[in-house]
Amino acid sequence: MSAVYRAVIAAVDKKVPARIKPLWDHPAGPKTIFFWAPTFKWLLVIAGLADINRPVQNVSLYQSTALAATGLIWSRVNAFVALTGLYQLARIAQYNV
């Protein structure tokens, strides 16, 4: 681990409230990639869902393609990323026809 990471964790450890400490110290808690990777993947899904109300001419073909492709490639964990990307691609295709 990097020295910067260790320093940040050491500083934050002192400020974590006692009631949140079990989550903070959990082996799959916020100190690990096992917490943050799924968190950011779900943020991609939420961003894709937020784009549903965006006018289709403002939806990026390349971004939706990238989200759909990566979601399909990693579909075991990214099925919802794929679905939101595919939905946006369908909207773009319908708009361009």
Task: Give the three-state DSSP class for 28.
Answer: coil
Residue of 53, 54, 71, 62 whose CA lies nearest to 89: 62
How much is the pLDDT for 79?
Answer: 81
Burial (CB < 10 A; 0-12, 13-18, 19+), residue 43, is: exposed
Q: List, for the chain, all residue ranges whose pLDDT scores fall below the cut of 70.
A: 1, 77
